[in-house]
Amino acid sequence: MLDAPVSGGDVGAKAGTLAIMAGGDPAAFETCLPVLQAMGNTIVHCGPSGSGQVVKLCNQIAGGLHLLAMAEAITLARRAGVDPAKMLEVVSAGAGGSWMLSNLAPRAIRGDFAPGFMVELMQKDLRLVLETAAVTKTPLPGSALVQQVLRTLEALGRGRDGTQAIVDALAHMAGEQTP
């Protein structure tokens, strides 16, 4: 048996390019590797059983904080009168670039909140992150903040929107009208 969470969303699943993080017995990993290779192109044995899940939680921490950074950059650009698409063009090419900026920010700017990964699923993952943090006595203030910002969307009935809708949570906090 392996625990083998994935990252890459619906696009990666359809293309067979998922990142797969596996935990479990190394022999079981080697036996299952051909099956995993049919689904992903980055496949890493992370350690004993449970390690794959911990790495998935780490992925969700990084993803959540990148989402928040994306939303803050878009929000500041808009409120300061700068075209967010122009900001995105420059920032994405520099040290602040990320997968979220390249893939989700253009959709957020267009108001396209169709899910690749839903807010409610990210909230489930962040709950698991914070539960693991509590057990391990690990302070994760950024993850807690992202969870609370996403809770704004849930309160607005938008839990099934894509995670890029976080930009609307910040707009709502700034007193702007959101869908």
Q: How far apart are CA 19 and CA 63, in angstroms?
A: 14
* pLDDT of 179 strictly over 80: no
**Residues 4/47, Cβ–Cβ less than 8 Å:** no
Structural domains of the chain, count: 2
Q: pLDDT value at position 177?
A: 80
Cα angle at 115 between 109 and 121, to 5 degrees?
A: 120
Question: Rounded CA gap, 146 and 155, in Å?
Answer: 14
Whether residue 83 is contained in a domain is answered as yes
pLDDT at 9: 82
In a domain, 179, yes or no: no
The SS3 call for residue 116 is: coil
Q: Is 115 exposed, middle or buried (0-12, 13-18, 19+ CB in 10 A)?
A: middle
129, 57 contact by CB (below 8 A):
yes
Out of 14, 56, 86, 124, the active site residue is 56
Residue 163 and residue 94 share a domain: yes
- Model confidence over 78-122: pLDDT tens digits? 999 999 999 999 999 999 999 999 999 999 999 999 998 999 999
Q: Are residues 14 and 87 in the same domain?
A: no
Q: Residue 12 domain-assigned?
A: yes
User: Is 124 annotated in the active site?
Assistant: no
Please say whether the beta carbons of 118 and 158 come within 8 A.
Answer: no
- How far is residue 64's CA from residue 173's CA, in Å, rounded to a whole number? 18
90 with 149, same domain: the answer is yes
Residue 111 lies in a domain: yes
Q: What is the pLDDT of residues 15-74, one digit of tens each?
A: 999 999 999 999 999 999 999 999 999 999 999 999 999 999 999 999 999 999 999 999
Angle (nearest 5°) at CA 144 between 69 and 60:
65
Beta-carbon count within 10 A of 142 CB: 14
11 — pLDDT class (breaks 50, 70, 90): confident
Domain that holds residue 43: 2-49
Q: Identify the pLDDT of residue 178.
A: 72
